C-alpha cells in the first residue's frame, strides 16, 4: 500500500483572504505536481483533506487531474491535531490513499510512521509536494519517493 502525503498548496495570507484560499502560484504548482503524479501512475482510491479551504482546493485539483476517487474532508487533520489516531487508521487501510494537510501535522505523521517518533523531523515538506510512503509490515513504513513542483517543470 502507498500513502501519499501533501502539504496544501501555497495560500493567501489571512489579511488578504480570511479563508486562506490558494494563491495562483499554489494552484499552478499543484496542477504541475498532479499532472506529473498522474503520469507516474499515482491513483489513490480516496483523497482525504483537512476542513480548511486551502487543503480542500489542493485535494480537488489532485482528484480532478488524476481522475481519482472521491475527496473527503476528515476531522483530525488540522495543523496541531494528534497524529497517533491517524497512524493507527492509516495502517489498517489496504488501498492507496492520499492525505492533504498542514504543518506541523504532516511532518509529525511522517516521522511517527517512519521512525516511531513524531518529533524526528525526517522530511522537509514543501507546498504542493507529494511524499510517497510505502507500507512494509503492519505499521512499518518507508519513504518511497518525493515529488516537488521544481521536479515537474
DSSP single-letter state for residue 89: H
Residue 70's pLDDT band (cuts 50, 70, 90): confident
* Cα separation, 53 vs 35, whole angstroms: 21
What is residue 84's three-state secondary structure?
helix
Which pLDDT score, from 0 to 100, does residue 72 have?
95
User: According to the model, what pLDDT value does residue 91 have?
Assistant: 83
Q: Which residue has the higher pLDDT, 144 or 94?
A: 144
Q: Specify the 3-state DSSP secondary structure of 61.
A: helix
pLDDT digits (tens, 9 = 90+) for 112-137: 999 999 999 999 999 999 999 999 87
Please check whether residue 141 is in contact with residue 113, taking contact to mean a CB–CB distance below 8 angstroms.
yes
Inter-residue contact 12 to 108 (CB < 8 Å): no
Check pLDDT > 90 for residue 68: no
Q: How far apart are CA 127 and CA 69, in angstroms?
A: 22
**Mean predicted lDDT score pLDDT of the chain:** 94
Average pLDDT for 63-87: 92
C-alpha cell at 82: 494528534
Tell me, what's the pLDDT at 50?
Answer: 97
Domains of the chain with bracketed CATH: 2-152 (3.40.50.1240)
144 neighbors 134 (Cβ within 8 angstroms): yes
pLDDT digits (tens, 9 = 90+) for 87-102: 989 988 889 999 999 9
Amino acid at each position: 500500500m502507498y500513502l501519499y502525503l501533501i502539504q496544501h498548496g501555497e495560500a493567501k495570507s489571512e489579511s488578504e483572504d480570511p479563508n486562506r484560499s490558494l494563491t495562483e502560484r499554489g494552484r499552478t504548482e499543484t496542477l504541475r505536481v498532479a499532472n506529473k503524479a498522474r503520469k507516474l501512475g499515482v491513483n489513490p482510491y480516496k483523497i482525504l483533506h483537512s476542513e480548511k479551504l486551502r487543503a480542500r482546493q489542493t485535494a480537488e485539483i489532485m482528484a480532478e487531474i488524476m481522475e481519482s476517487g472521491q475527496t473527503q474532508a476528515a476531522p483530525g487533520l488540522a495543523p496541531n491535531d494528534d497524529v497517533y489516531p491517524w497512524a493507527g487508521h492509516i495502517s489498517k487501510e489496504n488501498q492507496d490513499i492520499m492525505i492533504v494537510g498542514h504543518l506541523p501535522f504532516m511532518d509529525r505523521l511522517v516521522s511517527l510512521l517512519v521512525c516511531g517518533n513524531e518529533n524526528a523531523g525526517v522530511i522537509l515538506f514543501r507546498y504542493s509536494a507529494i511524499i510517497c510512503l510505502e507500507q512494509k509490515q503492519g505499521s512499518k513504513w518507508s519513504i518511497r519517493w518525493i515529488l516537488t513542483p521544481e521536479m515537474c517543470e
